[in-house]
């Protein structure tokens, strides 16, 4: 089986966009791939975090992985910081990456824009991300459009190491699903729905209460006119809402367009809200059960043990090739 690795940061609340664009694909991949899904808490601290909030959100993301349908018996679910090899190979990758490569990262430019001072971790973030992937010799890495650049650096570093020290790393390929890869913000369809957006009405959090979801969808920006038509170029806002409806209700775009022909945005938004509430209700119920059961820490411990078996072996091989004296 091909090996898959992906992770989500525990900074901010996971959104419907994370669920449709990433987590639903994780669930599909686990059945015929060797999967490793982690909460990347080391990446989260590249920007300041409140300790209590980081701890709670880390556990919440891990529990949401399980609630979304990831089976710990089929896929390893773990915390990045529970496998110290991530930090060790991250440092080694930092010594191989070039300043110019890091300076070209658009995510760094975006996150650093307008700030008087920026932590070095935010700048070297792609080296740690490369280490995350290369530790497991992952064949496929599920990534959104905004992460393609980071995967390119990972591929470059794998080839650079292999050329300098001998064959070690698989050069990973991106896994970008054709549908649902990008759910946009409710207040601006030119931007991805993001858990870091300061406007809470821009996104639907996976743990939002039903009435909160209804209110956010009722306030979602729509295009001029009243036609329910999927056309991302001329009607980006309603097209985004149709995409959300399609994923949550299991209806095709054509079925949604036909259902609301001549009805306008009011009935469409009302039904969309109920579709989202219905889609998230079982996930929210499972989430509460997982947190209440006390099983989460055992699952994370087992996942980290399995991940560490591979990661530690990789670091040892890397250090041996580079000339380190091994214990």
SS3 at position 168: coil
Q: How far is CA 280 from CA 8, 23, 206, 208, 277, in A?
A: 19, 13, 7, 9, 5
pLDDT digits 0-9 by tens, 202-257? 999 999 999 999 999 999 999 888 899 999 899 999 999 999 999 999 999 999 99
> Do residues 205 and 215 touch, judged by C-beta distance below 8 A?
no
> How do residues 123-146 score in pLDDT, each as one tens digit?
999 999 999 999 999 999 887 666
Based on the residue annotation, tell me whether 74 is a catalytic residue of this protein: no
How far is 114 from 126, CA to CA, in rounded Å? 21
Q: How far is residue 91's CA from residue 130's CA, in Å, rounded to a whole number?
A: 11
User: In which residue are the tokens 């982690």 written?
Assistant: 38
235 in catalytic set: no
195, 216, 235, 269: which one is catalytic? 195
Choice among 2, 74, 111, 259 that is catalytic: 111
Burial class (CB in 10 A: 0-12, 13-18, 19+), 194: middle
Helix or strand (DSSP H, E) at 6: strand 3-8
From the candidates 74, 115, 148, 192, give the one annotated as an active-site residue. Answer: 192
Q: 112: pLDDT confidence band, cut at 50, 70 and 90?
A: confident
d(CA 228, CA 242): 8
Respond yes or no: is residue 192 known to be catalytic.
Answer: yes
């Amino acid at each position: 089986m091909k090996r898959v690795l992906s992770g989500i940061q525990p900074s901010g609340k996971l959104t419907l966009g994370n669920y449709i664009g990433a987590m639903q694909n994780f669930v599909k991949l686990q059945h015929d791939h060797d999967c490793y899904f982690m909460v990347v808490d080391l990446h989260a601290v590249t920007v300041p975090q409140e300790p209590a909030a980081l701890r709670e959100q880390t556990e919440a993301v891990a529990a949401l992985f399980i609630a979304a349908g990831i089976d710990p018996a089929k896929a390893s679910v773990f915390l990045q910081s529970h496998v110290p090899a991530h930090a060790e190979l991250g440092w080694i990758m930092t010594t191989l990456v070039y300043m110019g490569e890091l300076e070209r990262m658009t995510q760094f430019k975006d996150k650093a824009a307008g700030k008087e001072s920026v932590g070095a971790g935010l700048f070297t973030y792609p080296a740690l991300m490369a280490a995350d992937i290369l530790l497991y010799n992952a064949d496929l890495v599920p990534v959104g459009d905004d992460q393609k650049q980071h995967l390119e650096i990972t591929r470059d570093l794998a080839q650079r190491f292999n050329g300098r020290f001998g064959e070690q790393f698989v050069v990973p390929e991106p896994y970008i699903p054709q549908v649902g890869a990008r759910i946009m913000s409710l207040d601006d369809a030119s931007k991805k729905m993001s858990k870091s957006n300061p406007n809470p009405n821009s996104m639907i959090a996976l743990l939002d209460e039903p009435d909160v979801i209804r209110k956010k969808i009722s306030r979602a920006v729509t295009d001029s006119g009243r036609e329910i038509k999927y056309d991302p170029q001329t009607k980006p806002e309603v097209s985004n809402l149709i995409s959300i409806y399609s994923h949550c209700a299991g209806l095709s775009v054509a079925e949604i367009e036909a259902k609301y022909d001549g009805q306008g945005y009011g009935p469409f938004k009302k039904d969309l809200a109920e579709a989202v509430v219905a889609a998230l209700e079982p996930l929210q119920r499972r989430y509460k059960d997982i947190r209440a059961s006390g099983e989460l820490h055992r699952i994370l411990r087992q996942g980290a043990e399995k991940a560490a078996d591979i990661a530690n072996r990789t670091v040892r091989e890397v250090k041996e090739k580079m000339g380190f004296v091994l214990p």
